[in-house]
A and B are shown apart, each in its own frame.
Chain A
Amino acid sequence: MLRSENPTRPATIDELLSSELIGKISHLDVSSRKIFAGKLKGERRSKKRGESVEFADHRPYATGDDLRHIDWNIYARLDRFFMKLFMEEEDLSLHIVIDASASSDCGEPNKFYYMQQVAMALGYIGLLNLNRVAVTAVGMRDELVIAGGEQSIAGNIRDLRGRRRTHDLARFLCSITPEGGTDFGQACKRIAMTRRGKGVMIVLSDFFMKEGYETGLRLLVGRGYDVFAIQVLSPQEVEPDIAGDLQLRDVEDGDMAEVTISAPLLKKYKENLSAYCQGLRDFCARREITGLTIQSDTPIDTLLVDYLRKRGLLR
Chain B
Amino acid sequence: MTWATPMLAALVGAIAIPSLVILYFLKLRRVPREVSSTLLWKKAIQDLQANAPFQRLRRNLLLFLQLIILGLILLALAQPRSTASASAGRKLVLLIDRSASMRAVDGDGAGDRTRLEVAKERAIGLVEGLASPSLFEESERADEAMVIAFDRSAEIVSQFTSDKQTLINAINGIVQTDGPSSIEEAYRLAQSQRPNRVFIDTGPSGEGTDPVEIEGIKGGDAYFFHLFSDGRISDLDVVRADSQEQAGDAPSFEYHAIGSAGSVNVGLTALRAERDYEDPRKLSVFVGVQSTDLNPRSIDAELLVGGAVVSVRAVKLEGAKVNSQTGEREASTGGVVFELVEPNGVVVGVRLTTGFGEGGPSGGGLDVLSTDNRGTLIVPPAKQASVALVTTGSLFLREALRGLSISDLLVITPSEYEQMREDGETSAIDLFVFDSVLPEAGEGGVVFDPGRYLVVGDVYTGPGGVVDKGEGPGTQIINWRRTHPLLRDLTLDAVVIGKSRTIEIPDGSELVSLAETTEGPAIVEMSTGDVRAVMVGFDPKFSNWPFDVSFVVFLASAVDYLGTQVGTEVDVNARQLSPGYVLADRVPTDAGNIRVTLPDGSLSSEIVAAPDGRIVYGPIRETGMYRVQWTGSAGASDVEDDGRIVRFYAANLLDSAESDAGTLTQVDLSNRVVSASNQGEIKRLKEWWVWLLIAALGVMMIEWWIYNRKVYL
- State the CA gap A34–B48 with chains docked (Å): 45
A2 at the interface (CB under 8 A from B): yes
> Taking the nearest CB of chain A, how far is it from the CB of B31, in angstroms?
5
- Complex interface bits, B13-50 against A, C-beta within 8 A gives 1, otherwise 0: 00000000000000011111111111111111101100
- B711 interface residue, CB < 8 Å from A? yes
* B-side contacts of A265, CB under 8 Å: 44-45, 48, 711-712
Evaluate contact between A255 and B44: CB separation under 8 angstroms: no
Q: Are A2 and B34 in contact (CB-based, < 8 A)?
A: yes
Q: Is the CB of B30 within 8 A of A247?
A: yes
A208 with B36: in contact, given A248-B41, A259-B41 (CB under 8 Å)? yes
Which of A208, A245, A264, A268 is within 8 Å of B30, CB to CB?
A: A245
Given known contacts A247-B30, A264-B711, A106 and B39 CB-to-CB distance under 8 angstroms: no
B30-A269 in contact (CB<8A): no
Complex: how many Å from CA A268 to CA B41?
9
The answer to whether A264 touches B48, judged by C-beta atoms less than 8 angstroms apart, is yes
Contacting pair B31 A257 (CB below 8 A): no
Among B30, B43, B44, B47, find the residue whose CB has the most chain A CB atoms closer than 10 A: B44
A250 and B35 in contact, given A245-B28, A273-B40 (Cβ under 8 angstroms): yes
Chain B residue with Cβ nearest A276: B40
Chain B contacts for A106, CB-based, 8 A: 35-36
Cβ contacts under 8 Å, B34 to chain A:
2-3, 248-251
Q: Which residues of chain B come closer than 8 Å to A89, judged between CB atoms?
A: none
Contact with B along A263-289 (1 / 0, CB 8 A): 011001101110010000000000000
Count of A-B residue pairs with CB < 8 Å: 97
- Contacts of A107 on B, CB cut-off 8 Å? 36
Nearest residue in B to A3 (C-beta to C-beta)? B34
Provide the residues of chain A in CB contact with B33, threshold 8 Å: 2, 242, 246-249
Please judge, given known A-B contacts A257-B45, A268-B48, A269-B41, whether A246 and B36 are in contact too, CB under 8 Å. Answer: no
Closest B residue to A237 using CB positions = B36
Q: Compute how far the CA of A268 lies from the CA of B38 in the bound complex, rounded to whole angstroms.
A: 14
What chain A residues lie within 8 Å of B35 (beta carbons)? 1-3, 106, 248-251
A250-B711 contact in complex given A268-B47, A269-B44, A272-B44, C-beta closer than 8 Å: no
Q: Which residues of A1-59 have CB atoms within 8 Å of chain B's CB atoms?
A: 1-3
Q: Is A234 an interface residue (CB 8 A)?
A: yes
- In chain B, what residue has the closest Cβ to A262? B711
**B42 proximity list for chain A (CB < 8 A):** 255, 257
Q: Can you list 27 A-B pairs, Cβ within 8 angstroms, ordered by A? A: A2-B33, A2-B35, A3-B34, A3-B35, A3-B36, A208-B39, A234-B36, A237-B36, A244-B31, A246-B30, A248-B35, A248-B38, A249-B34, A249-B38, A250-B35, A251-B36, A252-B37, A255-B38, A255-B42, A257-B38, A262-B711, A262-B712, A265-B711, A265-B712, A271-B44, A272-B43, A272-B44
Known contacts A234-B36, A257-B41, A264-B712; can you find 20 more A-B pairs with CB under 8 A? A1-B35, A2-B34, A103-B36, A106-B36, A206-B37, A245-B29, A246-B32, A246-B33, A247-B31, A248-B35, A249-B33, A249-B38, A250-B38, A251-B37, A257-B38, A257-B42, A259-B45, A260-B711, A265-B48, A276-B40
The 6 closest A-B pairs by CB, nearest first: A208-B37, A247-B30, A106-B36, A103-B36, A268-B44, A257-B38
